[in-house]
């Protein structure tokens, strides 16, 4: 009798909690389990059946409670240095998305943050307009979970265009006949698949493009006849605005001065040519010139710590660093980014090449995080990849100096009293004259020149 009363209490409590939650189906299942357990207890077979009824209740509750659930997706948390961003939608209301598919992109001052869908489903509502500003934790959109939702939404779209066309109306009213109609008319099958695709594509755009499309040919025809000129205006994105602001800050704050030198690339080119295959085979990455300049810069920064230092304008102090974090400028379609290679002083050529390749891939795929660009004690900008011959880079605040690399061109130079054609590169160092004197700047640039022209200097620590 004691076990009988315990079983009744347990099952009766579960049925009450189910009724309170408003789950009628669950309540009926719990009540059935209650009566079943009562009769079974009377027959002294309590230890197996009540547990099975409990498991049935738990499973049924999970399947009912989360069917067609609508969730609100919020803006992910930003880094400490980022407070807000602009939303750029890649999906519209009614679009079906798969799990981890990108729904929108948030442009911040430093990078773009992609917001993926947490589950497969259909977008119910966009809570922020395109271009709207958001902060961390701001609700972005509502998503109806479940793979069945997008399938149910598609048939109405297919019926709408069928009703609009003049010939199909007679075939559209009866839904059952289509299977039989498919047999006698095989020629109509190929056009059918594109119909839903066009309907989905034209739905978001039909309100804008159809009116502009007919006007465009007329305008072009008139423009061709009269020779009219046009112009367009594009709003600056947040990253471009931030780049402009930081460059202007550097110009207004730093006392910038640039010193130049030229580097004979003969030895480093021969070393690369001799060992590039073996280097690729061992490290699975190509040997480039950038690693030589990054390593040379780290060597020169340790020799001239003032170039690696920075002025703290709030406390009026000079901050000297005993580590070297080099920012490498990378051009992307959205603007210039400067990911950071950290602790370069302890890296070899292979480590530097791997770090540059990894950061470059992330920048091209727009996957750089704010943490990848925070910090940095010195910057290297390589305009030579675009064919630049000469230029003066601008300091990347709050740093105190930047090295500008340029293109390699064959030029006549005097070598041992004779004129020879050598591959030469101009290099430029822009520095903050408030902190770095001309002696340190010139010595720093000559140190880089000596290391690149003869890498054996690194081995001999000269």
The pLDDT confidence band at residue 27, using thresholds 50, 70 and 90, is: very low
The pLDDT confidence band at residue 60, using thresholds 50, 70 and 90, is: very low
At 224-264, the pLDDT tens digits run 556 789 999 988 888 788 888 888 988 899 999 999 999 99
pLDDT at 247: 87
The residues near 371 (Cβ < 8 Å, ≥ 6 apart) are 79
Say whether pLDDT at 73 is over 60: yes
What is the C-alpha to C-alpha distance for residues 299 and 14, in angstroms, rounded to an integer?
Answer: 72
For all residues of the chain together, what is the average pLDDT? 76
Q: What does the block give as tokens for 90?
A: 């890649």
Is pTM beyond 0.75 here? no
pLDDT at 59: 43
At 295-347, the pLDDT tens digits run 999 999 999 999 999 999 889 999 999 999 999 988 877 778 889 999 999 99
Selection from 106-120, 186-200, 288-302 with the highest mean pLDDT: 288-302
What single-letter DSSP state applies at residue 67? T
What is the C-alpha to C-alpha distance for residues 160 and 164, in angstroms, rounded to an integer?
Answer: 6
Axis crossing angle, helix 290-303 with helix 349-364, rounded to the nearest 10: 120
At 292-303, the pLDDT tens digits run 999 999 999 999
The pLDDT confidence band at residue 204, using thresholds 50, 70 and 90, is: very low
Q: How far apart are the first and last CA of the chain?
A: 94
At 351-391, the pLDDT tens digits run 999 999 999 888 888 788 878 888 899 999 999 888 899 99
The pLDDT confidence band at residue 108, using thresholds 50, 70 and 90, is: confident
Which domains are assigned to the chain?
68-143 (2.40.50.100), 255-458 (3.30.559.10)
Secondary structure (H, E, C), 305-329: CCCCCEEECCCCEEECCCCCCEEEC
**289-319 exposure pattern, b = at least 16 Cβ within 10 A, e = fewer:** bbbbbbbbbbbbbeebebbbbbbeeeeeeee
Say whether pLDDT at 153 is over 60: no
Tell me the catalytic residues. 433, 437
SS3 (DSSP) at 391: coil
Report H helices in 147-237. Answer: 148-164, 178-182, 194-205, 209-226
Q: Cis (ω within 30 of 0) for the bond into 166?
A: no
Estimate to the nearest angstrom the gap between the alpha carbon of 395 and the chain centroid: 26
- Tell me what percent of the residues of the chain surpass a pLDDT of 90: 37
pLDDT at 66: 52
Name the nearest CA neighbour of 399 among 335, 315, 340: 340
Least-confidence region, from 110-114, 312-316, 413-417 = 110-114
Q: Listing from the earlier edge strand, what are the strands of the sheet with 121-126?
A: 70-74, 139-145, 121-126, 96-97
Q: Extract long-range pairs of 146-151: CB within 8 Å, 24+ residues apart.
A: 146/67, 146/68, 146/69, 146/120, 146/121, 147/120, 147/121, 149/68, 149/96, 149/121, 149/122, 150/96, 150/121, 150/122
At 1-14, the pLDDT tens digits run 444 444 444 555 55
């Amino acid at each position: 009798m004691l076990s009988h009363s315990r079983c009744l209490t347990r099952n009766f409590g579960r049925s009450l909690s189910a009724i309170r939650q408003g789950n009628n189906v669950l309540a009926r299942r719990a009540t059935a389990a209650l009566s079943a357990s009562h009769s079974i207890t009377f027959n002294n077979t309590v230890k197996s059946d009540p547990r099975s009824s409990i498991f049935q209740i738990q499973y049924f509750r999970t399947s009912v409670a989360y069917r067609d659930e609508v969730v609100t997706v919020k803006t992910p948390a930003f880094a400490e240095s980022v407070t807000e961003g602009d939303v750029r939608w890649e999906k519209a209301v009614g679009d079906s998305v798969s799990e981890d598919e990108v729904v929108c992109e948030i442009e911040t001052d430093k990078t773009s943050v992609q917001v993926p869908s947490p589950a497969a489903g259909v977008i119910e509502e966009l809570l922020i307009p395109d271009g709207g500003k958001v902060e961390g934790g701001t609700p972005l959109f509502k998503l109806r979970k479940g793979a069945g939702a997008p399938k149910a939404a598609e048939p109405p779209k297919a019926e709408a265009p069928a009703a609009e066309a003049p010939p199909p109306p007679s075939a559209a009213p009866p839904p059952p006949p289509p299977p039989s109609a498919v047999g006698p008319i095989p020629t109509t099958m190929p056009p059918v698949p594109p119909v839903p695709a066009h309907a989905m594509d034209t739905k978001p755009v039909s309100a804008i493009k159809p009116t502009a499309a007919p006007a465009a040919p007329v305008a072009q025809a008139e423009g061709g006849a009269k020779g009219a000129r046009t112009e367009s205006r594009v709003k600056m994105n947040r990253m471009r605005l931030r780049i402009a602001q930081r460059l202007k800050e550097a110009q207004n704050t730093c006392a910038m001065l640039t010193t130049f030198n030229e580097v004979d690339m003969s030895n480093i080119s021969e070393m690369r040519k001799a060992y590039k295959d073996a280097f690729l085979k061992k490290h699975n990455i190509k040997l480039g010139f950038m690693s030589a300049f990054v390593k040379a810069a780290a060597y020169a920064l340790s020799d001239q710590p003032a170039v690696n230092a920075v002025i703290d304008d709030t406390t009026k102090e000079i901050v000297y660093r005993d580590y070297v974090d080099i920012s490498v400028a990378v051009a992307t379609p959205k603007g210039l980014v400067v990911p950071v290679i950290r602790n370069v002083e302890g890296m070899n050529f292979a480590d530097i090449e791997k770090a540059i390749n990894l950061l470059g891939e992330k920048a091209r795929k727009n996957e750089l995080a704010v943490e990848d660009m925070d910090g940095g004690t010195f910057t290297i900008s390589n305009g030579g990849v675009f064919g630049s011959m000469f230029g003066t880079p601008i300091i990347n605040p709050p740093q105190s100096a930047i090295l500008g690399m340029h293109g390699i061109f064959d030029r006549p130079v005097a070598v041992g009293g004779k004129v020879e054609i050598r591959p030469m590169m101009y290099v430029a160092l822009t520095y903050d004259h408030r902190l770095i004197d001309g002696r340190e700047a010139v010595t720093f640039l000559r140190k880089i020149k000596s290391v690149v022209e003869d890498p054996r200097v690194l081995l001999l620590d000269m």
